[in-house]
Structure 1
Amino acid sequence: MVKRPLALAVALLAGCGTPFGIYHEVRPGQTLYRIARTYGVDPAKLQRLNRIQDPTRIRPGDMIFVPGADRTREVPTMPTGGKRTATTTRSTQPPPKGSSGARERVEIASRPKATSTPKSTWSGGDAPKLIWPVPKGEVSSGFGQRDGAPHDGVDIRAPEGSPVLAAADGRVIYSGDGLKGYGNLIIVRHQGSWATVYAHNKENLVNKGDFVVQGQKIATVGQTGRASGPHLHFEVRFGKAPKNPLQYLAQRSTSSGS
């Protein structure tokens, strides 16, 4: 069981030096320059914000944080010389300044799935669609009041060492054991002001600053911190406000207990 101090921590971590924006997944043939021009962002700023040392070495599947954007856009691609992996469509974005004015073709490539679970669709401030962080776990304690105190998430019981998956794409803004009671804790920042929280882990497998994709294994179930047995304490937050995770996950029955 964990209590309110996390609310302030999430709000501070999520807001510290990280402006509003979205994550753009790099597709084959896209360059940092083209991504920046499509979103109207200075390429140097995009490179600096994402801590990219060599902008020519970004790869398909990389996640680029784009400040100020509220939705993903189709970015024109350069010919890759490889086999196309998906249908080619025409860009709806205006050509970069100085171009001939002809619309360029864009290749929409499918990202390899980390698991067989459905992909998340975060979009600006829209409510998130999440996958279960412990797919075969059992909800042992729900959201709301518990023993006269707020319970800002759900507890998902599972055998110790079970995989903990990222519920959606995002950036790790905290990975450590410095918040009393939570044990090994991970906080992932998503688009807009959304964040997900994973507590009591046996082992954290990602570090602060890492990009994670939905379904990626980021930790293992444990009982570190104040825990009454192996389980994942999972929270969904918008800013510092806790949200009931069950409203964003596939329906499951809950049982009493901890």
Structure 2
Amino acid sequence: MARRRAFCAFERRQAVKLARIFFAVLACASLAGCAASYRAPVVERTVARPSTAKPAAPPAEQRPESYTVKRGDTLYSIALDNGLDYRELAAWNNISDPAAIKAGLVLRMRPPGQAVAAQPEGGAQVHPEARVQVQPVTVPGSVEARSLGADPRAAVEPRAGTEPPRVASDLKTGPKAMKLPYSEENLAMLLRQAPAAPTPEPVPPQPSAEDGQDTVAWIWPAAGRVLAGFSEATNKGVDILGKIGDPVFASASGRVVYSGTGLRGYGKLVIIKHNQTYLSAYAHNSNLLVKEGQNVVRGQKIAEIGNTDSSQAKLHFEIRRLGKPVDPLKFLPDRPS
């Protein structure tokens, strides 16, 4: 009996040990499962960044609308100082003799009508000279303007006891239209009968400041060395040494807007207009080989070096941007040493 009790007690102790071992193993397994590394799914998203596009370039400097002639001015010098063709300037101001201008005369510096800006809203119009806005006046009893698509019969209400006026849309000029059921065949027939829409004429692109106006391929106009550089106070260009009769070349392609001796201190002078921005001037020549209005190409011989209005034989060369002198050495290519 005592042995049986001892055996039962032993079995209970063993069962408790097994239970403890089981629960210990289960707890370790749970802890191991929780401690295992788990990576959450990552979704890459692209963050929209603000555009880094460069702001639009500011518009080019505009020349004044008018200029008051001062003592000593000539039409040629005014045109050169403002980057204009003196013949255009004369035409804008109805000047028949360029040498007949007097001090105090106010000249228009832009083509007629160019100074008018965009029309104001509401149908107002601006007169280019007086700059007075003209507003449309609505008078009681006046006929109201309507678009072409509006019903003309709705514009006028007939008075009581009077017959409404007949309009063009009341007149039948053809048989009554017939509605057809939808089908591929009927649709194709209607498309064939419909009049073709007029093709709009292509509008030529307007020139802008970015259409090559500031892009000029310059070359040296003469082969001599530079005698004097650019100075805003004393020298509006560069002086290039040469011998009488040496060739003078067009520094860039363009149109000759002046060829003569009308500007004091320049001698025999040639001015070439390359675009709406740049002019080039070639002074003190002994012989002029081009005429006004003639188109020239870069490198073409246009004159010969001389000493007219100068103490020595040289070429005085200027580049003007919108009439303002700029340093030609900043535009001309480097010479090989």
TM-score (ref. length: structure 2): 0.41
Q: 1:12 to 1:195 in 2, by over 3 A?
A: closer
The one of 217, 234, 243 aligned to 1:129: 217
Does residue 40 (structure 1) correspond to residue 204 (structure 2)? The answer is yes
The answer on 1:14 being equivalent to 2:80 is: no
Partner of 1:246: 329
Whole-Å separation in 1 of the counterparts to 2:255 and 2:227:
28
- In the alignment, the residues of structure 1 paired with residue 203 and residue 283 of structure 2 have an alpha-carbon distance, to the nearest angstrom, of 35
After the TM superposition, which parts of structure 1 deviate over 3 Å for at least 4 consecutive aligned residues? Answer: 4-7, 12-20
Relative to structure 1, the CA distance from residue 12 to residue 246 in structure 2 (aligned partners, 3 Å threshold; closer, same or farther) is closer
1:124 shift after superposition: 3.0
Larger % of strand: which? 1
Q: Is the 8 A contact 2:237 2:318 kept in 1?
A: yes
Q: Is the 8 A contact 1:153 1:245 kept in 2?
A: yes
Post-superposition offset of 1:178: 1.1
Q: CA 1:125 to 1:224, structure 2 compared with 1: closer, same or farther past 3 Å?
A: same
Aligned-partner Cα distance in 2 for 1:218–1:13: 20
CA contact (8 A) 2:85 2:258 kept: no
**Is the aligned partner of 1:214 residue 2:298?**
yes
**Residue in 2 that maps onto 1:232:** 315
Distance 1:17 1:155 in 2: 29
Distance 1:239 1:218, change over 3 A: same
- Please give the root-mean-square deviation of Cα atoms over the aligned residues, in Å: 3.1
Q: Partner letter of residue 204 of structure 1?
A: L
Spell out, residue by residue over 1:35-64, the C-alpha distance to the aligned partner (whole angstroms, 9 max, x if none): xx98828xxxxxxxxxxxxxxxxxxxxxxx
Q: How far apart are 1:191 and its partner, in Å? A: 1.4
Cα distance change of structure 1 residues 156 and 38 upon mapping to structure 2, 3 Å threshold:
farther
**Letter of the aligned partner of 1:237 in structure 2?**
R
Q: Deviations over 1:172-205 (max 9, x none)?
A: 0000011111110000001122100000000010
Mapping of residues 43-58 of structure 1, within 5 Å: none
Q: Which residue of 1 aligns with 2:228?
A: 141
**Which structure has more RCO (C-alpha within 8 Å, separation ≥ 6)?**
1
Q: Would the aligned equivalents of 2:86 and 2:257 in 1 still touch at CA under 8 Å?
A: no
Q: Which residue number in structure 2 is paired with residue 101 of structure 1?
A: none
> Which residue of 183, 194, 197 corresponds with 2:281?
197
Report the number of matched residues: 153
- 1:239 positional shift: 1.5
> Is there any run of 5+ residues in structure 2 with no aligned partner, and where?
1-72, 90-109, 112-200
Structure 1: state its 5+ residue gaps: 21-36, 42-67, 72-121, 254-258
CA contact 2:257–2:273 (8 Å) conserved in 1: yes
Which protein shows a greater Rg?
2
Shift of 1:70: 4.1
Alignment equivalent of 2:207, drawn from 69, 84, 109: 69
Q: Which moves more between the two structures, 5-14 or 230-239?
A: 5-14
What is the aligned partner in structure 2 of residue 163 from structure 1?
247
Q: Distance in 1 between matches of 2:246 and 2:203?
A: 40
Q: Is the 8 A contact 1:175 1:187 kept in 2?
A: yes
Distance 1:168 1:187, change over 3 A: same
Which residue identity does 1:140 align to in structure 2? L
TM-score (norm 1): 0.52
- The amino acid across from 2:227 in the alignment is S
Identity %: 41
Alpha-carbon spacing, 1:69–1:177, altered in 2? closer, same or farther (3 Å): same
Aligned residue for 2:292, secondary structure, equals coil
Structure that is richer in helix per residue? 2
